[in-house]
Structure 1
Amino acid sequence: MQCPISLHLGYTSIRVSLEESVLKRLQPEPRLRDLRFAKNLDWNLLKLFNEIVEAHGITRAAALLNRKQPALSLALKRLEERLGVTLCRRGPTGFELTEEGRILADTCSVFAASVREIPARLSDIKAEVRGHLRVMLVSNLVAPALDQAIETFHQKYPAVELIVEVAAWTDVVNALIQHKVDVGISPSRVMRAELSYLPLFTEVHRPYCGRSHPMFGVEASGPSDLASESFVLTGADEGDELTEFRLQHGLGRHVAGMSNHLEEAKRLAMLGVGICFLPEGYAKPDVDSGRLWPLLAGDGVPRTGIYVVTDPNSPAQISRELFITEIREELKSAA
């Protein structure tokens, strides 16, 4: 039979152990505690403390900062209360840091030095970013936001070599999936789940004819007016929206010419070979000079969304991310 005293001591030991366990669970984990401290701390107090330390006292720091001495004293007191320690002593011998104060002063000194290096480090990034940026796009895009982004990107990161290729939109997507290019700019038939799409602009397509064509100077009342005319088709460069529009209205049943290169298809249209659908922005200079004529006005024409396409699963590349950032900034400015 156990002694009552032994049983009581055993019970007390178990109770104390349970209490310690509960208290330990109630205390925040060190990492969580540190995160809360950093989030709730007024960082300006650290800056003022660093100024006081560098000035060897509150009075001189107040004069250098053009601040009132009581305001700095109050800031120092707030910091000490937040940390739960005394950081310095002020008396007949002058300003003196405590051991805790010296530890914090060393930390603030490193922090202040890092802050002072920010401008230099940001300017040095121009020299640090190097390598290649491979961009593949569909031909003859007229996209001011893209042009401005390329110009700004080169000015900021001149050491990056820009490699630009032109291809049909299907080839652009395939090249991205195979990681042959870093950025693709093209229309998209289907939004693939593994790719990321940033809308760049909407490309408007209209039918145009050259000066020697019988319909030059005539404004058609609708697509049906053009159904009996001969067309120059753009083959693989033709987007789905344009193909559906042509088939819906019976356009292109009579083919006078074809080219997978948009500039050559435009040449045939300018020479009067046939009517050709062209991007409005691309045709504008020739319309303004009188070499091409738009046969359909208004909104009832095909429109194609053009996207900046990237593959998030491709190897990380800082030049690609910086280039996308420039495009986003240009789109934001144009909005």
Structure 2
Amino acid sequence: MKPIADQDEVIRQLDWNLLRTFMFVVQDGSITLAAKRLMRRQPSVSQALQRLEAQIGTVLIDRSPSHFRVTPAGQALYQECLETFGSLARAIQTAQGTEDTVTGTVRLALLSRVENAFFDDVLAEFHRQFPEVQFDIEVMSSKGVREAVLAKTASLGVCLVNDAQPNLETDILYRTYFGFYCGPSHPLFGKDSLSLDDLRDHTSVSFRTDHLWDALRPVALLRAQHKLDNMVIGYTSDLDEARRMITAGLGFGPLPVHIAEKHVATGKLWRLPPYENSLAIDIHLVHHRTARLSRAESALLNLFQTRLNATSLAERSNTPDLDN
């Protein structure tokens, strides 16, 4: 840790972009994923983290090719960064919202591959009503979405929710259905009339939220009941990366049916049991309970809530055709 006398100098010389990069790395739990979201090369993100640690004088993330852990100092700095960047974002939005016309920027944090007609329709309707409002949309893990909303760096979020949090207001935006799939090189590819027991001795891939205590609990529960969780060979928070691993033959794994069936039609994936769409997962719209919203943010939140109240869950959900 830097001596107290040096702290003023550190603050004067500190590059705030290093702090922002550090926040992304912590939220994604990976330098590689953070680089992807920042649209930068992995070495530059790694170097930025090294520069920040050198300037502050302490290790923020204990990392190696097989290990990633945020240190207590890193966790403390991360929480302060969330508060600081959140306060700055709120100040800018307040300044932007003083004109008669509704303007400014609405920041949305979304989990990967939010493909939902209801959500798209609400955004389209909002743009027709308030064409001067700009959008800043970031894709991150569900944990990252929740933290961004709680830190007030995102106006609204769309994510999985595993349990209630005091300052987080949640509404079910839509319901989607998961199924198990494998790729062309998998031994079960092309086979019909399989049972869940047929999957038992095969490797699999999974999402980091695929745990009994987390947001993909129905998937984890099915795995546990049929002893399918003993040979997990790959984890990810990104839907496209999960599909990549499954298609590449690393193992079978869960995917949203409405997305995966498009790839089944082209011969890149194969549906495995359970064949009925019983693994229902709710995707939530989240916002901060006590955040002071700009006029643009309030207008969008009010529109979402009005449309949610007027549209049934079945109408706004991703219900596969084969679920009828």
The bucket for the TM-score relative to the shorter chain is: 0.5 to 0.7
For residue 313 of structure 1, report the CA deviation from its aligned partner: 0.1
2:222 is aligned, of 226, 245, 261, to 245
Query: Which whole-Å CA distance do the structure 1 matches of 2:269 and 2:281 have between them?
Result: 21
For residue 208 of structure 1, report the CA deviation from its aligned partner: 0.5
Residue identity opposite 1:133 in structure 2: V
Gap regions ≥5 residues in structure 1: 1-125
Query: Which whole-Å CA distance do the structure 2 matches of 1:213 and 1:274 have between them?
Result: 7
Q: How does 1:297-316 map to 2 (within 5 A)?
A: 297-299=274-276, 301-316=278-293
Does the 8 A contact of 1:204 with 1:304 survive in 2? yes
Please tell me whether residue 190 in structure 1 is matched to residue 167 in structure 2.
Answer: no
After alignment, is 291-300 or 202-211 more displaced?
Answer: 291-300
- Greater share of helix residues, 1 or 2? 1
Residue identity opposite 2:299 in structure 1: L
Question: So what's the TM-score if we normalise by structure 2?
Answer: 0.58
Does the 8 A contact of 2:102 with 2:295 survive in 1? yes
How many equivalent pairs are there?
Answer: 210
User: What's the secondary structure of 1:128's corresponding residue?
Assistant: coil
- Deviation track 1:262-283 (CA, whole Å, cap 9, x = no partner) reads 2122112112221121111221
Query: Which whole-Å CA distance do the structure 2 matches of 1:295 and 1:318 have between them?
Result: 48
Q: How does 1:22-61 map to 2 (within 5 A)?
A: none
Please tell me whether residue 264 in structure 1 is matched to residue 226 in structure 2.
Answer: no
Does the 8 A contact of 2:202 with 2:252 survive in 1? yes
Change (3 A) 1:127 1:214: farther
For residue 156 of structure 1, report the CA deviation from its aligned partner: 2.2
Q: Percent identity?
A: 25
User: What's the secondary structure of 2:273's corresponding residue?
Assistant: coil
For residue 222 of structure 1, report the CA deviation from its aligned partner: 3.6
Aligned to 1:77: none
2:153 is aligned, of 153, 159, 180, to 180
Gap regions ≥5 residues in structure 2: 1-98, 316-324
Residue identity opposite 1:284 in structure 2: E
Residue identity opposite 1:172 in structure 2: V
2:302 is aligned, of 314, 322, 325, to 325
Aligned to 2:267: 290
Does the 8 A contact of 2:179 with 2:275 survive in 1? no
Question: So what's the TM-score if we normalise by structure 1?
Answer: 0.57
For residue 311 of structure 1, report the CA deviation from its aligned partner: 1.2
For residue 328 of structure 1, report the CA deviation from its aligned partner: 4.0
Please tell me whether residue 167 in structure 1 is matched to residue 140 in structure 2.
Answer: yes
User: What's the secondary structure of 2:262's corresponding residue?
Assistant: helix
Please tell me whether residue 275 in structure 1 is matched to residue 252 in structure 2.
Answer: yes
- Deviation track 1:111-166 (CA, whole Å, cap 9, x = no partner) reads xxxxxxxxxxxxxxx98111111111111122111111122222322211111111
1:216 is aligned, of 149, 168, 189, to 189
Query: Which whole-Å CA distance do the structure 1 matches of 2:192 and 2:305 have between them?
Result: 38
Does the 8 A contact of 1:205 with 1:303 survive in 2? yes
Bigger radius of gyration among the two: 1
Say what the alpha-carbon RMSD is for the aligned residues. 2.5
Query: Which whole-Å CA distance do the structure 2 matches of 1:192 and 1:259 have between them?
Result: 24
Query: Which whole-Å CA distance do the structure 1 matches of 2:298 and 2:259 have between them?
Result: 28
User: What's the secondary structure of 2:163's corresponding residue?
Assistant: coil
For residue 177 of structure 1, report the CA deviation from its aligned partner: 1.5
User: What's the secondary structure of 1:214's corresponding residue?
Assistant: coil
For residue 205 of structure 1, report the CA deviation from its aligned partner: 1.2
